Structure 1
Amino acid sequence: MPLTRLTALAARPWRLALLSCLLGVGITLLWHTLSTPGPVLFVKLHNQLPQIVPLVVFEHGNDFTQERITLTQLQAGETRVVALNHRPGMGYTVTIPWSATRQTSVCVGKFTDSWVNELSITADGIVSH
């Protein structure tokens, strides 16, 4: 009897395709439900300079991961929000390479339990609010 049902499925390939698709969607939903990462740390970055900031590099890590996020062409007056896979209070480094010989770098985010950090790029450097 099972052989007859298998033969019936093979005779109608669209049923086999539909069954495979539904099975794939179900497995994908289950996987995403079971492996949802923790909350993310948001960093709101505002360029208060009258010029474009060519690159902004965020770096952080912990026992198991190392992450590097690069923003490009941050326009004058522009604000961007970056999501870091990181917990508050652990700190992260923000670096702006202005040229081959000059950069601005700061470690921010330590000693805070906020899930949203605000930073400004000013003439005095990178300022945390």
Structure 2
Amino acid sequence: MNRSMMTLWLIPLLLTVGLTGSGCRHDQGASLPDRTLIVHVQNRTSETIPKVEIGYANVDTQQTTTILQLAPDKTRTITLNHEPGLGYSVEAHLADGNVLEICGGRHPESRVMREVITQESILSGIGKP
């Protein structure tokens, strides 16, 4: 086999092995930084929610994460660069124009929070919805 033929099949093989190996290694033992908060936002209304805004701040920073077009019965999971227990604000802008608001995330014992949006309110808690 000549050198150019060997190169043609060797390069794709090495790329495949490299990408597969790096993907497996990434999932094993991956941990989140201490100042990380996972928030599951679920739409339990009958209509798509056009916009959900989550605002949070630390001593030096203020940030907003926006979720767009959250379909009925769907959940979106976001990761915030925010220390558990400090809380955050949630504003759900419903399709009918109403805006629901809540202060959530004030549970220092959990890094996983949930915000369940209904037609009348936002239910805040710990863990997955």
* TM-score between the two structures when normalised by the length of structure 2: 0.65
Per the TM alignment, residue 101 of structure 1 is displaced from its structure 2 partner at its CA by 6.5
The total of aligned residue pairs comes to 94
> Deviation digits for residues 19-54 of structure 1, max 9, x if unmatched?
xxxxxxxxxxxxxxxxx9644100011111111000
Q: Structure 2: which amino acid aligns with 1:66?
A: Q
1:65-104 aligned within 5 A: 65-98=61-94, 102-104=98-100
Name the one with the larger helix percent.
1
Per the TM alignment, residue 113 of structure 1 is displaced from its structure 2 partner at its CA by 2.0
Q: Structure 1: which amino acid aligns with 2:105?
A: G
Structure number with bigger Rg: 1
> Equivalents in 2 of 1:75, 1:99: separation in Å?
11
Q: Structure 2: which amino acid aligns with 1:44?
A: H
Mark the CA change 1:73 to 1:99 in structure 2 (over 3 Å): closer, same or farther: closer
> Equivalents in 1 of 2:34, 2:107: separation in Å?
20
1:23-34 aligned within 5 A: none
- Percent of counterpart pairs with the same letter? 32
Q: Structure 1: which amino acid aligns with 2:52?
A: V
1:114 aligns with 2:101: no
* TM-score between the two structures when normalised by the length of structure 1: 0.65
| RMSD between aligned residues | 2.2
Which of structure 1's runs of 4+ aligned residues deviate more than 3 A? 36-39, 98-102
